[in-house]
Amino acid sequence: MKPAFNTPDWVLAALQQRRQHDLMRRTVTLASPQVPHAVIDGQDYTSFCSNDYLGLANHPELVRAMQASAQQYGVGGGASHLVCGHLAPHQQLEEALADWLGYERVLLFSTGYMANLGVISALAGKGGVVQDKLNHASLIDGALLAQAPLRRYLHADVVSAEKLLSKSANSGLLVTDGVFSMDGDLAPLSALSRLAAEHQWMFMVDDAHGLGCLGENGRGSLSLEGLDSASLPILVGTFGKAFGTAGAFVATSHDYADYLTQFARPYIYTTAMSPAIAGASLASLQVIQSAEGQERREQLASHVSYFRQRMQSLPITLMASDTAIQPIIIGDSKAAIQVSDALRSLGIWCTAIRPPTVPAGSARLRITLSAAHSEADLVLLCDSLEQVLTTED
């Protein structure tokens, strides 16, 4: 017999408010691998809301590497990196990432959220943290965890950022996403890097949605902007997007890495990622660096170009994104759910994104494209959007 819970009134009121404003979140269970043609609730759909941008989450090389690592090193890390949980696959992955990106050191974290919490809470100084207004929640929460002053500049606005840095009597940490997760646009990294150097601030970029997909050899926003480890001393990346696995890392200098090892609490007090995942992530990096990885990036870019060309005839305004993230702003949350449901009836799975994930009045379809999509998948998506959005209009 299940226990009867006495739920506080304020919990019930908060849930009811979410329901009334069409903001209730619910989990969806996939009964298939993370592939474009997914099975959800027993139905077949073509999915356009996964962050598996290069289509590596079910890649046979990654599956084999994970199995081999698990066979040799087991499944669990067993302890934190600083106790006895740092296994050979972790070290191999760190060294390969550092070599790929041109940094002295890399530290692994269990998730991207934990990486951002750990780095920002450890490095936020007296000057606090200055961030882009549309930064990911984990970047904002890192500053809150540090109990440091937090100021946010207008989105991608270097002049706005400079005003905030100029007002501070102490240096701190300037933080931005490389690719913004809900809009798909790019941060002005070169200008922000110069601004940080001029004011002697630390500069940190979370390139979760850029690494693997963009730039030479898939090196992300760093490569696109012509930056290196000197001009971008703290780079955070994740494995849960283009890499197709799980976990995260920070690429930095020896000194910063040593400091984070002492003071980044989510690194110190968390069990290390599975060595099997580390092995799979290393295999993913090898694919990303190979000719196959380049072919997948070119395929993804072709999909983006086709999608944007097809959408020009519809009564929508595309956001300034040339990345895999192609949002269509609907505005009202209820209307966004209706459009998502209409697409679902046509075999397209694309979840409506609503506040507080995005600003009020900007509920949207966050369409994400993958190199694993076929040309037929893109045609189906665009035909379905034409049908639904024309009807809605």
Edge-to-edge strand list for the sheet holding 150-153: 105-109, 248-252, 234-238, 202-206, 173-177, 129-132, 150-153
Choose, from 47, 50, 181, 340, the residue flagged as catalytic. Answer: 181
In the residue annotation, 209 being an active-site residue is answered as yes
Closest CA to 46 of 32, 35, 33, 58: 35
373 is in an annotated binding site: no
Is 112 a known ligand-binding residue?
A: yes
Q: Which of 56, 54, 58, 62 lies closest to 299, judged by CA?
A: 54
Active site residue 374: no
Question: 59, 81, 199, 241: which is the annotated catalytic residue?
Answer: 241
Q: Is the distance from CB of 40 to CB of 31 less than 8 angstroms?
A: yes
Q: Is 254 tagged catalytic? A: no
Respond yes or no on whether the N-terminal peptide bond of residue 3 is cis (omega within 30° of 0). no
Judge whether 113 is annotated as a binding position. Answer: yes
Residue linked to tokens 């002295």: 104
Q: Distance between CA 369 and CA 298 in Å, rounded?
A: 12
Which residues does 198 contact at the CB level (< 8 Å), separation at least 6?
none
* Closest-CA residue to 209 (of 128, 103, 110, 321): 321
The answer to whether 111 is annotated as binding is no
Catalytic residue among 59, 90, 209, 303: 209
CA distance 142 to 148: 9
- If one counts every other C-beta atom within 10 angstroms of the C-beta of residue 309, the result is 10
State yes or no: 18 annotated in a binding site. no
Ligand-binding annotation for 152, yes or no, is no
Asked if 161 contacts 187 with a C-beta cutoff of 8 angstroms, the reply is no
Q: DSSP of 190-218, one letter per residue?
A: HHHHHHHHHHT-EEEEE-TTTTTTSSGGG
Candidates 239, 251, 280, 177; CA nearest to 52 is: 239
Residues with Cβ within 8 Å of 387's Cβ and at least 6 positions away in sequence, in order, are 346
Q: Which residues are catalytic?
A: 181, 209, 241
Binding site residue list for substrate: 25, 136, 357
Binding site residue list: 25, 112-113, 136, 181, 209, 238, 357
Binding site residue list for pyridoxal 5'-phosphate: 112-113, 181, 209, 238
